[in-house]
């Protein structure tokens, strides 16, 4: 994580010591590096420089308006999965004509709004959704641009909860049923078929599953062309993994080069939907040790961040590094780093070798993706502040929720 580095024994975000941010803004706090987000996006942009297509950042990874605005200014498109994400992209200045709308359960109201603002296309995930979209388009008097998300039945070799391209997953139309669904889309006067989409999972650390899925989708593209349905683009989804611990995911450039090689002869535009690989290592979660508690079985460090701030360890047994902002003085021991939430599953890390003391500040690394966006108010805990560092500048891009925020708008019975 080059944008978060130790200098003189202290952890910095770009040019700012994280201790200073914790002192001024409190903990828990998500801190993002602008430079990191820009660099990752530009790596995709330069890999795709001579290739017509779109980089549609997956908003679910980190939907902070400042992050979206930064990406919009760099020319990004967006992959959204809800009406809420659509409004966030619009509020951040994103270009609707660069939005792809994914998700298995789009409501009629969400479809209508997306048609009103003119999204690039709907990634349709079932025959029933296609039918609904045709009705909504007809009632709005417009033609809806459609790309079918197909499920290629490929094992992405990732955690089962974030694998999406197997036939037992709920996502997409089974690839062998796709020709039939395409035929009905092509026959509708309210739909315009423009592409094909597939997304096989997240945190992929090998090229093979991407290319395997691509091969299967290209067979479909060719079969459709033979039946007179000519597609303009192929959307390969997101999913490129990052290093949390010792993973070695393919470089962005290598992934794009391998894909381009396979699609170049067909003159297709390439759409990608990266999320994690742009923002994961652009963020850390700062937290403070509230108490140390030694029991017969474990040493617990109870910190002020919890599963409501970062659900990934509880949900996927995900491992993210936890480091001190300034190294502790004592002997390192093994600690379970746990939060204040009343759940045994509320942990940020287990068996971490650290020299800890009460009041010490820690950073959970690689927390820029699926951190704040999966956070909740469970146990009526206010959500953390989000901060973006840009060189020397520190911007609070979403204030910490207050206890008052947590009760606003709710009414006791009259
Ligand atoms: C349809 C779709 N596109 C893109 C992404 C982004 O994935 P990642 O953050 O792994 O790049 C996801 C999440 O897995 C997704 O479901
Ligand atoms: N939320 C997941 C990724 C899921 C991607 C959404 N399809 C994670 O934190 O790793």
Instruction: Please list the pLDDT of the chain residue by residue as tens digits (414 residues).
Output: 579 999 999 999 999 999 999 999 999 999 999 999 999 999 999 999 988 999 999 999 999 999 999 999 999 999 999 999 999 999 999 999 999 999 999 999 999 999 999 999 999 999 999 999 999 999 999 999 999 999 988 887 777 766 677 777 889 999 999 999 999 999 999 999 999 999 999 999 999 999 999 999 999 999 999 999 999 999 999 999 999 999 999 999 999 999 998 998 899 999 999 999 999 999 999 999 999 999 999 999 999 999 999 999 999 999 999 999 999 888 999 999 999 999 999 999 999 999 999 999 999 999 999 999 999 999 999 999 999 999 999 999 999 999 999 999 999 999
Q: In CATH, what number is assigned to the domain containing residue 285?
A: 2.40.37.10
Rounded CA separation 72/95 (Å): 7
Phi, psi of 106 (to 5 degrees): -65, 130
Non-local CB neighbours of 246 within 8 Å, separated by 6+ positions: none
118 is annotated as contributing to ligand binding: no
Task: Tell me the DSSP string of 60-113.
Answer: GG---HHHHHHHHHTT-EEEE-SHHHHHHHHHTT--GGGEEE--TT--HHHHHH
Tell me: do 12 and 40 sit in the same domain.
Answer: no
Tell me, yes or no, whether 413 lies in a domain. Answer: no
Tell me: do 354 and 216 sit in the same domain.
Answer: no
275 C-alpha to ligand 2 centroid (Å): 9
Tell me, yes or no, whether 176 lies in a domain. Answer: yes
Active site residues: 342
199 lines ligand 1 (CB under 6 A): yes
Atom of ligand 2 nearest to the CA of 159: 10
145 lines ligand 1 (CB under 6 A): no
65 C-alpha to ligand 2 centroid (Å): 19
pTM for the whole thing? Answer: 0.97
Domain edge (last residue) among 276, 307, 337: 276
Tell me, yes or no, whether 365 lies in a domain. Answer: yes
Atom of ligand 1 nearest to the CA of 238: 11
In this prediction, residue 161 carries a pLDDT of 66
Strands 333-338 and 299-303, by their bridges, are: parallel
Tell me: do 302 and 340 sit in the same domain.
Answer: yes
Helix/strand/coil for 324 = strand
* Best of 105, 275, 278, 368 for a ligand 1 pocket test (most atoms within 8 Å of beta carbon): 275
Domain edge (last residue) among 253, 276, 299: 276
Look up the domain containing 269 and give its range: 34-276
In this prediction, residue 168 carries a pLDDT of 78
152 lines ligand 1 (CB under 6 A): no
Non-local CB neighbours of 23 within 8 Å, separated by 6+ positions: none
Q: In CATH, what number is assigned to the domain containing residue 48?
A: 3.20.20.10
Give the CA angle between residues 51, 147, 280 to the nearest 5°: 65
In this prediction, residue 334 carries a pLDDT of 98
Tell me: do 232 and 131 sit in the same domain.
Answer: yes
Non-local CB neighbours of 388 within 8 Å, separated by 6+ positions: 31, 32, 33, 34, 64, 66, 67, 394, 395, 397
27 C-alpha to ligand 1 centroid (Å): 29
Tell me: do 141 and 241 sit in the same domain.
Answer: yes
Tell me, yes or no, whether 414 lies in a domain. Answer: no
Query: Atom 4, ligand 2: which residue's CA is nearest?
Result: 162
Domain edge (last residue) among 276, 309, 334: 276
Rounded CA separation 183/361 (Å): 59
The dihedral region occupied by 43, where left means phi > 0, alpha psi between -120 and 50, and beta the remainder, is alpha
In this prediction, residue 261 carries a pLDDT of 87
In this prediction, residue 284 carries a pLDDT of 98
316 is annotated as contributing to ligand binding: yes
85 is annotated as contributing to ligand binding: no
Tell me, yes or no, whether 212 lies in a domain. Answer: yes
61 lines ligand 1 (CB under 6 A): yes
Token pair, residue 195, equals: 């592409």
Tell me: do 334 and 195 sit in the same domain.
Answer: no
276 C-alpha to ligand 2 centroid (Å): 8
Tell me, yes or no, whether 322 lies in a domain. Answer: yes
Rounded CA separation 371/341 (Å): 16
Tell me: do 107 and 129 sit in the same domain.
Answer: yes
In this prediction, residue 2 carries a pLDDT of 72
Virtual torsion, Cα 181, 183, 184, 185, nearest 10 deg: 90
Q: CA dist 66 to 59, 69, 89, 233, 370, Å? A: 12, 5, 10, 29, 16
Strands 191-197 and 233-235, by their bridges, are: parallel
275 is annotated as contributing to ligand binding: yes
Tell me, yes or no, whether 245 lies in a domain. Answer: yes
- Give 10-17 contacts, CB < 8 A, sequence gap 24+: 10/325, 10/326, 11/323, 11/324, 11/325, 11/326, 11/363, 13/284, 13/389, 14/389, 14/390, 14/391, 14/392, 15/389, 15/391, 15/392, 16/389, 16/392, 16/394, 17/325
* Best of 67, 237, 318 for a ligand 1 pocket test (most atoms within 8 Å of beta carbon): 237
Tell me: do 165 and 20 sit in the same domain.
Answer: no
Ligand 2 site, CB within 6 A: 60, 162, 202-203, 312, 370, 374
In this prediction, residue 50 carries a pLDDT of 87
Longest dimension (CA), the chain: 72
Tell me: do 9 and 78 sit in the same domain.
Answer: no
Segment holding 353, helix H or strand E: strand 347-354
Tell me: do 220 and 96 sit in the same domain.
Answer: yes
Which of 30, 58, 78, 73 lies closest to 395, judged by CA?
Answer: 30
The full length of the chain comes to 414
202 lines ligand 1 (CB under 6 A): yes
Tell me, yes or no, whether 412 lies in a domain. Answer: no
Tell me: do 211 and 317 sit in the same domain.
Answer: no
Alpha-helical segments (H) within 105-177: 108-117, 127-140
Non-local CB neighbours of 195 within 8 Å, separated by 6+ positions: 121, 146, 147, 148, 231, 232, 233, 234, 235, 269, 271
Residue 203, burial from CB neighbour count under 10 angstroms (0-12, 13-18, 19+): buried
How many structural domains comprise the chain? Answer: 2
Say if residues 114 and 85 touch (Cβ distance below 8 Å). Answer: no
Give the closest ligand to the alpha carbon of residue 204: 1
Rounded CA separation 339/302 (Å): 5
ipTM of the complex: 0.98
Non-local CB neighbours of 324 within 8 Å, separated by 6+ positions: 11, 354, 355, 356, 360, 361, 362, 363
Tell me: do 324 and 380 sit in the same domain.
Answer: yes
117 C-alpha to ligand 2 centroid (Å): 27
């Amino acid at each position: 994580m080059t944008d978060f580095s130790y200098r003189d024994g202290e952890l910095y975000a770009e040019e700012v010591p994280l201790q200073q941010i914790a002192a001024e803004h409190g903990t828990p706090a998500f801190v993002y590096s602008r430079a990191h987000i820009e660099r990752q996006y530009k790596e995709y942009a330069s890999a795709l420089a001579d290739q017509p297509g779109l980089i549609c950042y997956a908003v679910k990874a980190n939907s902070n308006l400042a992050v979206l605005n930064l990406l919009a200014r760099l020319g990004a498109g967006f992959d959204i999965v809800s009406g809420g994400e659509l409004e966030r992209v619009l509020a951040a200045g994103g270009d609707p004509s660069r939005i792809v709308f994914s998700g298995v359960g789009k409501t009629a109201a969400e479809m209508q709004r997306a048609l009103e603002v003119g999204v690039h296309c709907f990634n349709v995930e079932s025959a029933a959704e296609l039918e609904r979209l045709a009705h909504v388009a007809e009632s709005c008097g417009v033609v809806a641009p459609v790309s079918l998300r197909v499920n290629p039945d490929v094992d992405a070799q990732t955690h089962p909860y974030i694998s999406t391209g197997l036939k037992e997953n709920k996502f997409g139309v089974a690839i062998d049923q796709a020709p039939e669904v395409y035929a009905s889309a092509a026959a509708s006067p309210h739909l315009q078929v423009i592409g094909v989409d597939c997304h096989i999972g997240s945190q992929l650390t090998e090229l093979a599953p991407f290319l395997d899925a691509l091969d299967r989708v290209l067979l479909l593209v060719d079969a459709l062309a033979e039946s007179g349905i000519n597609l303009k683009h192929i959307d390969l989804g997101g999913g490129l993994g990052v290093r949390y611990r010792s993973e070695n995911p393919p470089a962005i450039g290598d992934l794009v080069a391998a894909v381009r090689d396979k699609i170049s002869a067909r003159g297709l535009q390439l759409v990608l939907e990266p999320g994690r690989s742009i923002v994961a290592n652009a963020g850390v979660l700062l937290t403070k040790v509230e108490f140390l508690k030694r029991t017969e079985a474990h040493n617990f460090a109870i910190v002020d961040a919890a599963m409501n701030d970062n659900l990934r360890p509880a949900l996927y047994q995900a491992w993210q590094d936890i480091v001190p902002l300034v190294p502790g003085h004592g002997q390192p021991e093994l600690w379970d780093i746990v939060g204040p939430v009343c759940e045994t599953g509320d942990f940020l890390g287990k068996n971490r070798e650290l020299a800890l003391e009460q009041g010490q500040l820690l950073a959970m690394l690689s927390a820029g993706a699926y951190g704040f966006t999966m956070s909740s108010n469970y146990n009526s805990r206010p959500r953390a502040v989000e901060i973006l560092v840009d060189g020397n500048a520190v911007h609070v891009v979403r204030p910490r929720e207050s206890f008052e925020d947590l009760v606003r708008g709710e009414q006791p019975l009259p």
